[in-house]
Amino acid sequence: MTALKQYSFWLIVGSQDLYGPETLQTVDEHAQIIVDGLNADSAIPCTLVFKPVVRNSSEIFSTIQAANQDPSCAGIITWMHTFSPSKMWIRGLKALQKPLLHINTQFDREIPWQTIDMNYMNLNQSAHGDREHGFILARMRLPQKALAGYWQDIKFRSRMATWMRAAVGAFESRQLRVLRISDNMREVAVTEGDKVEAHMQFGWSVDHYGVQDIIKLVDQVTEAEIDAQMAEYSAHYELATDNLEAVRYQAQEEVALKKFLEDGKFGAFHTNFQDLQGLKQLPGLASQDLMRLGYGFGGEGDWKTAAMVRILKLMSADLAGGTSFMEDYVYHMEEGNGLNMGAHMLEICPSIASEKAQIKVMPLGIGDREPPARLTFKTATGPAILASLIDMGDRFRLIVNEVDCRKQEYDMPNLPVAVVLWKPLPDLETSAEAWMYAGGAHHSALSYTVTADMMRDWAEIMGIEFIHIGAHTKIPELRQELIWNDIVWKHK
């Protein structure tokens, strides 16, 4: 079973009593065939669950209430094979607490020209019934996704999969705990934010602990635990240093951090290089290896990006390719080939490596501690996204830029960190201007697996503003969108 099969989605097919039991039985049979067909396709990452056809307001209400209560249900999918008068749906939809995908498909692909009669028309009328359903969803201003197309087509299935991943992101978001080790870096604006609002909007519980709480655990780590962690490192990475003592200290930090994360059921954490107290090294290798295991991470107290790294990792846990904490660092402004080089002082996730990562120990220019062990590696090429969540004071805004990651041609022997070299869409200048007009952070979650469409669906489910920077982006239009959004989102 792949990682995302544990999340279920209920297919709820609407109808009414008017058609008689025979037609309704056929509706159920067709829905079951569609569910089985989708579950058999590896393009669908999650599990579809068949529910008997709903015929009236009380059946709709009780099915939706049951979906709300089911701890593995990550969303509902509605479809009107026949006609289902939508006033019957109001009570149930008002109670709905899960994400909603409305599919507009048909059991048969083509019209049977020779045999079609009124019985066929009564059964196969989603062109009619789904429009009635679309009206009530629009009238109630519900967060939703409309998906039209033939259910056996690859494009339809891949768009369904995209929405499912977003719903998984929402599901995990609503139970995410973020561990703050210390506060955020002094004087920095973009890593601030309203944690109460984040709890209400995203479900994140964001709690602070003192560095001393971690140090207590670091001091309790045994030599045997460090040995076991070192064996883990050897299994995944190449040791490219003689300074074993420094590597063992990172192992000690990782064992302690992992205990703290597991005990508190945290999915993400941040550090702050300005506040290390008795820690001898900034956790570098330790943070990188914890990201590989699926934890979200943010530097300098960035709890919002730490949470996003975690959510993006879970949305795409079954896909090849990685997700990492990222920071825009240095431009390559060659004419016609503008690139952005992203990195961080240490903490890039080895899930985005294109080669076996090496453990090295080098001094850190910032801070006043011992040279930390870290992983260095070259990174994967191809399409990726950068996602940045910011707090605008009255709302959260998610900014996503599509980028194309390029091959790293030079070794950069004096640079002791992993980097990603990307060409942002539509081009470096437009992307940078758009990102800054939108207020995007210098920190982001970079993902080779999550797409802009997934993030758009996730933003819709979470009820937040979404700004998409890509091949289509033009600065005058983007600035208009930002001005309009300021009005629209103030009235939410």
Q: How far is the CB of 268 from Mn ion (least distance, A)?
A: 15
Q: Is-cis flag, bond preceding 426, omega within 30?
A: yes
How many positions of this chain bind Mn ion (CB under 5 A)? 3
Residue number, 13 or 181, with CB nearest to Mn ion: 181
Q: How far is the CB of 399 from Mn ion (least distance, A)?
A: 17
Listed ranges 139-147, 230-238, 324-332, 458-466: which one lies at the site for Mn ion (CB under 5 A) = 324-332
Q: Residue 396, exposed/middle/buried by CB under 10 A (0-12, 13-18, 19+)? A: buried
Residue number, 104 or 444, with CB nearest to Mn ion: 444
Query: Do 340 and 428 contact (CB within 8 A), yes or no?
Result: yes
Listed ranges 60-68, 101-109, 131-139, 326-334: which one lies at the site for Mn ion (CB under 5 A) = 326-334
Per-residue binding string, Mn ion, 150-179, x by CB under 5 A, is: ------------------------------
Distance from C-alpha of 207 to C-alpha of 295, rounded to nearest angstrom? 16
When computed from its CA atoms, the radius of gyration of the chain, rounded to whole angstroms, is 25
Name which position in 172, 253, 254, 327 contacts Mn ion (CB under 5 A): 327
Residue number, 68 or 274, with CB nearest to Mn ion: 274
Name which position in 169, 299, 301, 372 contacts Mn ion (CB under 5 A): 299
Residue number, 246 or 343, with CB nearest to Mn ion: 343
Looking at residue 416, what DSSP letter applies? -
Q: How far is the CB of 380 from Mn ion (least distance, A)?
A: 21
Element (H, E) at 93: helix 90-95
Residue number, 130 or 327, with CB nearest to Mn ion: 327
Question: Quick one: CA torsion of 247, 253, 254, 255, rounded to 10 degrees?
Answer: 110
Q: How far is the CB of 321 from Mn ion (least distance, A)?
A: 23
Amino acid at 222: T
Residue number, 272 or 451, with CB nearest to Mn ion: 272
Give the list of residues 6+ apart from residue 56 with CB closer than 8 angstroms, or none: 16, 17, 88
Three-class HEC string of 125-185:
CHHHHHHHHHHHHHHCCCCCEEEECCCCCHHHHHHHHHHHHHHHHHHHHCCCEEEEECCCC
Listed ranges 139-147, 296-304, 308-316, 445-453: which one lies at the site for Mn ion (CB under 5 A) = 296-304
Q: How far is the CB of 324 from Mn ion (least distance, A)?
A: 13
Distance from C-alpha of 487 to C-alpha of 489, rounded to nearest angstrom? 6
Q: In this chain, which residue has its C-beta nearest to Mn ion?
A: 299
Question: How distant is the alpha carbon of residue 134 from its chain centre?
Answer: 27
Q: How far is the CB of 345 from Mn ion (least distance, A)?
A: 7
Q: How far is the CB of 100 from Mn ion (least distance, A)?
A: 37
Q: How far is the CB of 185 from Mn ion (least distance, A)?
A: 8
Residue number, 99 or 299, with CB nearest to Mn ion: 299
- Residues numbered 107 to 146 that lie near Mn ion (CB under 5 A) are none
Q: How far is the CB of 331 from Mn ion (least distance, A)?
A: 17
Question: How distant is the alpha carbon of residue 113 from its chain centre?
Answer: 45
Residue number, 302 or 481, with CB nearest to Mn ion: 302
Listed ranges 202-210, 252-260, 299-307, 356-364: which one lies at the site for Mn ion (CB under 5 A) = 299-307
Give the list of residues 6+ apart from residue 103 with CB closer than 8 angstroms, or none: 77, 78, 79, 130, 147, 148, 151, 160
Q: How far is the CB of 191 from Mn ion (least distance, A)?
A: 8
Per-residue binding string, Mn ion, 440-469, x by CB under 5 A, is: ------------------------------
In this structure, are strands 337-343 and 323-334 parallel, antiparallel, or unpaired? antiparallel
Per-residue binding string, Mn ion, 350-369, x by CB under 5 A, is: --------------------
Listed ranges 88-96, 102-110, 321-329, 361-369: which one lies at the site for Mn ion (CB under 5 A) = 321-329
Pull the structure tokens for residue 314. Answer: 């879970």
**CA distances to 32, 259, 285, 289, 372 from 253, in Å:** 51, 10, 9, 11, 11
Q: How far is the CB of 299 from Mn ion (least distance, A)?
A: 4
Residue number, 325 or 396, with CB nearest to Mn ion: 325
Neighbours of 12 (CB within 10 A): 24
Residue number, 252 or 388, with CB nearest to Mn ion: 388
Query: Do 290 and 256 contact (CB within 8 A), yes or no?
Result: no
Query: Do 455 and 467 contact (CB within 8 A), yes or no?
Result: no
Residue number, 13 or 441, with CB nearest to Mn ion: 441
Pull the structure tokens for residue 219. Answer: 């001091």
Listed ranges 104-112, 207-215, 291-299, 316-324: which one lies at the site for Mn ion (CB under 5 A) = 291-299
Residue number, 76 or 343, with CB nearest to Mn ion: 343
Distance from C-alpha of 404 to C-alpha of 469, rounded to nearest angstrom? 13
Q: How far is the CB of 308 from Mn ion (least distance, A)?
A: 14
Sites of contact with Mn ion (CB under 5 A): 299-300, 327
